[in-house]
A and B are shown apart, each in its own frame.
Chain A
Amino acid sequence: MTVFGVALKATRYHWRTHLPAMAFVALATAIVTGALAVQTSIRSDLYASLVTPLGRVNQAFVSNGTFRAELAGSKEVAALSLNATASSSDSRTSFPATIWGLGPESANLWSDYQPLFGGQARVAESLRKQLNLTVGSRLFLRVPVPNAAPLTSVFGRRMASESTVEVSVDVASFLPSQGMGDFSLTPKLGGRPLVIIDREWLSQQLKIGGQANVILSESTDLAKTLSAKLNLADHGIRLSSRPGEMTVRSNHVLLTPKQVTACEVAAQKRGAKTQNTLVALAEEVRIGGRHISYAMVAGRPSKEPGNRRISLNEWAALQLGASVGDKVDVTLLVPKSDGTYRHPTIHGSLAGIVAMKGDGANPNLVPTLSGMTDSQHMSGWSTPFPIDLTRITPSDEDYWKRYQAAPKVFVDSEITQLAWGAGDSVSSVSVTGCTETEFAEALLQVLKPEDSGLSVIRARDNALLAAMGSSDLAGLILGLSSFLILSALAIAGSLLVLNFQSRARDLKLMSYVGLSPKTIFGLLAYEALFAAMTGAIVGTPGGALLAKACLVLLARWQAIPSTLGNVAILLTVKDVVIGLTTSVVCALGAVLIYARPLFSRRGIRRPRPPKPFGSPLGTVSGLLIKSIRQRPLRMLSVAMIVATSTAVLGIAAGSYSNADTSGTGGIRLQVETTLPVAIDWTTVQGRKQLHFDLADEGAFEGIVVYSLLRSPGTDVSCLNPAKPTAPRISAIGADFIHASLFASTDNQGKSAWPQLLGTPTPGSAISAIGDGDTLEWILGTGVGQTLDTQLSNGTNAKLSFAGATHGSFLAGDLLVSKGSFHQLFPDIEAPSLFLVKTPESKQQALSLALARNLSDYGVTIRSTTDILSSLRGVFNAYISIFIVFGVMGLILGVCGASLSAARNALERQAEFALMLAVGLPRSRVRYLMIAETQLGVLLGTSVGLILSVFVALAERASISWLGLLVAAVAIVLTSTISCIAVSALILRRGILGALRSE
């Protein structure tokens, strides 16, 4: 017979009396385990959605343009990844999609990869549903052409029909969700649906055979592996030599500023000189009555601002009959945002005539311009801008035949910059003073991959991080319910000790037969342990049920995506152990605290003799005060539970976010496009250029549109359950800033918007504004702090938060200025996010018109109130859970109050018996039995109410006075009734026994 064995027998014998205590331990365990299970289950689902689809891919090497597919080693996979729109022969609407061109070697990375023939596609389930596809369906994909001229430049093809290639494929099979169908380099849930086609076939369709823009690899050090293998072509750089000089051009039309710097450094290393050129197209060059049309103009940097000195090559001078000093008018073609062109004329004087050698006849100064420089004749030009082919003369054609696109006019690059928009662009760098081989070698040494928009994305690391979840749901639920857990365990401990107290005779016997206090305590401790363990074990499956209920509710209340409501609950051994240990340890702690009065240093404490009747005040209330002073903790513990629960309810009820529309900033529609829209559709002319239906014009009357550049990346708001690893950045213009749509203050309380207007210094932190809650809860930063983050293009950025918005529908984006955005995403030039203010009466008509007319761009239109309602839904869902826990806390508080009254009555039944025996009225005895507890309830309710009002005032939240009053009355009434019931029961049963024994 051991202490352990006897305690086990005692527990089995007394299981009925321990049942309520076990139930409270089970409740606490269920909450702890359930909270952990919610987190684990969500993380497991996120893992399945974000990490599993990666197959064996660890890292990806990506480019803004393209590089040789053969760069990929034997264990790597070259791919083409492009955002596109997809439609079927049956559907009139296009949906966004991400095209992945993959080869058969992809089986190295995905064991279930099925090779495809050219013209076949494997399609994500979500797209199947959107387009109602079946195997064999014909799918039309509108894919942007890589390496195209910048959209905002004169050479940019701004119409979707021109900047994209439509390819049609047959659906071969469908991609399963949480498998390859969810593959993405940027971990995000519910991203664009995937369409997989054969890479080689796709590259041929796009006329970039043998090229790729992504290398997928199992390697964890892809940068090191590939950097050594890169050649200039992979950097998108092309060297062209002519006698005495060479020219550096980009396959992507413009050289990046870092590439230009690298050229200068490389040339310096070889003792060579460089000359930057930015070309433009002159519609006309005129001297007096003579002119030439469609001449390439080479812009060269000048030290003199406003330099209007113009040079012509000999051919042009001859055509124009020009002499040095003549006045020259150069009319340029400059794109306007509405899709039309300006024709500014530059007036200057002829500063010189360049001989037809060297720069005077150098077609390498002009980058490859699709449809122009690859044409055999000028009359065969296919230009993005309107051209009058009748103006092309035989002399022009002769020039084209001899010198191709060699610039005829030389001006300050400030002038040619007009054709490219803002910035300091360079289309070619001429190098003199070294050989091509020497320069190429030096340039390769100097160039870093990031200079050319090449970067490595740590796809698996990012996915693993994202799978941790955006918010600590377990912490949140545990935090919200901590008072409930502690209350339940405290009550459980109290009940266990109450059971022990009711067996005081057994304890006395043990002491009399010679058991040491240590042994007796050990017996009780084991018994408490067994009871707590039993409750905890029973509560563990309850945790799974609670987790499921939480997920279903959160999904129903739209705090998490609806798919997460169907997640299978996962209970790990760790979660179970934590749940069990927490409950058992806390319950035992409570037992130790409550059992203290049972033991003295000398052993089992003898029952207290009844207090002498009477009090310093000589009244029953005086006796009550004396009793409270003797055992203040009992009343205070009831007060604490009730106060916390009341405060939680009061604060939560006042925090409910109502459906006001202040977070919309007056904007009604958010319009997103898959392909950027370079033509301003907000103007009549722009809509005409985009071939909008004239019948829709009425819908556009009176609208105000803010166009935002937007990067790919992940939604950083609470709507995204995955941890954002590459935040989505949106660029706002001065119009947005000056409109003061949303308040955003810095730490000094001043408006933060003007801080975005400053020109960012390259390399320094970029000023940004984000949603306050997003910054605090999801990104773990705040106003005045900086965030180091990887962007969706693989580069790293440091964002400094100048201010925060609150309650705006743009919570999913971090906002920066357009200037800053260009530094972060130089290849994104046109907007793809449009915020539209429109009269309510026209909202629907406008939505329909935009859906119809921007279909080629993959348009998605959402009401800002819907977005706001989704965001508020998350907040309100948490508040609802908070309220549920608050109500449960109050139920526990009332239970605790009743138990406290019961305990008070049982502990002091001898005292009460004595009072009854000496003739004290039963009502007075009942008053004494419950008054102490009820005082605790009243105190707790008052403190809770004051606290909730104080917090509401501090947070400027609304106060639900009626709600608070109803809650307070309900608490006091319920606890009074339950205490009276308990005391009546004890008066009827327990006191008589005590009276007899006395």
Chain B
Amino acid sequence: MNLRIEQLSKSFGNRVVLDGLNLTVERGEAIAIVGPSGSGKSTLLNILGSLEKPDSGKVVLGEVVVNELTKHLLEAFRSRSVGFVFQEHLLLPYLSALDNVLLPCLGHPETTPIESARSLLDRVGLTERANDFPSTLSGGERQRVALARALIHEPLMILADEPTGSLDHERAVELVDLLLSEAKMQNRIVIMVTHNLDLAHRLDRTLILTNGQLTLEGG
């Protein structure tokens, strides 16, 4: 199941951010998107995650045209198919690490995958910290919890918006490797926005977003 972006456009007033953008990402592929500030990286990520609607064009994941889904189906799509990792390790301070991982499953107590969450925490190296609260975790640990949270509902696609922005280089590399290994293991698509070219090069492809168009680095 791949991701296709066809003629995707988005403007804010007179400013064109995305201009007939096309992209295809194969299942299991990880791509990095780089570009100057204000080039529309986050907007693209938001549209892919169905948080924003494009002015025109299509986002097709497998057979599903995401931007044509109804409000109800969009919510379901987002909760089942997309995992977010943010620049800031956004965790709810009053929930333990384990609970934070389980947050996307809230409202479905009958299918709460507690064992999967524990397994994920195990895989991100936080088995011992499962019951700890965010305030007692380091920045890297928090971001790993956020990564585990993005994976808990086994999404088809992980969208990471500067996930290492608040980490030092060593921790950043660790996290990206972890993200990639988890994604590859489950054959998931990873789209990561970053400013760090070193990190970007660890992914399968690096695309540059300028003037509303994506171009392959060195291409």
Contact = CB atoms under 8 A, between A and B. Distances in A.
Q: Max chain B CB contacts within 10 Å: which of A3, A6, A523, A603?
A: A6
A513 B94 contact: no
B205 interface: no
Q: Max chain A CB contacts within 10 Å: which of B71, B104, B107, B149?
A: B107
A1 B84 contact: no
A418 to B, nearest CB: 97
B118 to A, nearest CB: 13
Contact of B102 (A1, A505, A512): A1
A15 to B, nearest CB: 10
A602 interface: yes
B40 to A, nearest CB: 18
Q: Max chain A CB contacts within 10 Å: which of B49, B71, B75, B112?
A: B75
Contacts of B84: 512-513
Interface residues of A, number: 26
A514 B82 contact: yes
B38 interface: no
A505 B79 contact: no
Contacts of B99: 1, 6, 9
Nearest to A9: B94
B72 to A, nearest CB: 9
Contact of A2 (B51, B75, B94, B109): B109
A3 B107 contact: yes
A12 B107 contact: no
A514 B82 CA distance: 8
Given A513-B149, A515-B104, A13 B75 contact: no
Contact of B109 (A1, A9, A514, A523): A1
Given A1-B109, A516-B75, 20 more contacts: A1-B102, A6-B92, A6-B99, A9-B94, A10-B92, A509-B86, A509-B90, A509-B91, A511-B51, A512-B49, A512-B51, A512-B86, A512-B90, A513-B84, A513-B104, A514-B78, A514-B153, A515-B103, A516-B79, A519-B106
B199 interface: no
A339 B87 CA distance: 109
| Interface of A, helix, strand, loop or mixed by DSSP | helix
Interface in A6-26: 6, 9-10, 12-14
A514 B93 contact: no
Contacts of B79: 513-516
B75 A6 contact: no
29 contacts: A1-B105, A3-B107, A6-B95, A9-B99, A10-B94, A13-B93, A506-B92, A509-B86, A511-B51, A512-B49, A512-B51, A512-B84, A512-B86, A512-B90, A513-B79, A513-B103, A513-B104, A513-B149, A514-B75, A514-B78, A514-B79, A514-B80, A514-B104, A515-B79, A515-B107, A516-B107, A519-B107, A523-B106, A602-B71
Contacts of B149: 513
Contacts of A513: 79, 84, 103-104, 149
A422 B60 CA distance: 110
| Size category of the binding interface on chain B | 20 to 34
Contact of B94 (A14, A508, A509): A14
Interface in B126-184: 149, 153
B95 A9 contact: yes
Nearest to B88: A505
A665 B95 CA distance: 75
A505 B103 contact: no
A510 interface: yes
Contacts of B95: 6, 9
Interface in B51-109: 51, 71, 75, 78-80, 82, 84, 86, 90-95, 99, 102-107, 109
Interface of B: 49, 51, 71, 75, 78-80, 82, 84, 86, 90-95, 99, 102-107, 109, 112, 149, 153
A67 B75 CA distance: 89
Contacts of A516: 75, 79, 107
Nearest to A12: B94
A519 B75 CA distance: 11
A519 to B, nearest CB: 4
A603 B53 CA distance: 14
Contacts of B49: 512
Contacts of B109: 1-2
Interface in A584-620: 602-603
A170 B92 CA distance: 82
B71 A1 contact: no
Given A1-B109, A9-B94, A14-B94, A510 B71 contact: no
Nearest to A512: B84
Contacts of A2: 106, 109
A515 B106 contact: yes
Contacts of B80: 514
A1 B78 CA distance: 20
Nearest to A515: B106
Contacts of A14: 94
Q: Max chain B CB contacts within 10 Å: which of A2, A512, A523, A603?
A: A512
Contacts of A515: 79, 103-104, 106-107
B13 to A, nearest CB: 12
Given A1-B99, A515-B79, A516-B75, A6 B106 contact: yes
A388 to B, nearest CB: 107
B81 to A, nearest CB: 9
Nearest to A517: B75
Contacts of A12: 94
A739 B93 CA distance: 82
A361 B73 CA distance: 116
Nearest to B72: A516
Nearest to B99: A1
Q: Max chain A CB contacts within 10 Å: which of B78, B94, B104?
A: B94
Given A6-B99, A512-B49, A514-B153, A13 B94 contact: yes
Contacts of B75: 514, 516, 603
Nearest 3 A-B pairs (CB), nearest first? A514-B79, A13-B94, A519-B107
Nearest to A6: B106
Contacts of A506: 92
A932 B78 CA distance: 41
B130 to A, nearest CB: 13
A179 to B, nearest CB: 57
A518 B107 CA distance: 9
A610 to B, nearest CB: 15
Q: Max chain B CB contacts within 10 Å: which of A506, A511, A516, A518?
A: A516
A3 B99 CA distance: 12
Contacts of A514: 75, 78-80, 82, 104, 153
A516 B75 CA distance: 6
A505 B107 CA distance: 20
Contacts of B86: 509, 512
Q: Max chain A CB contacts within 10 Å: which of B90, B105, B149?
A: B90
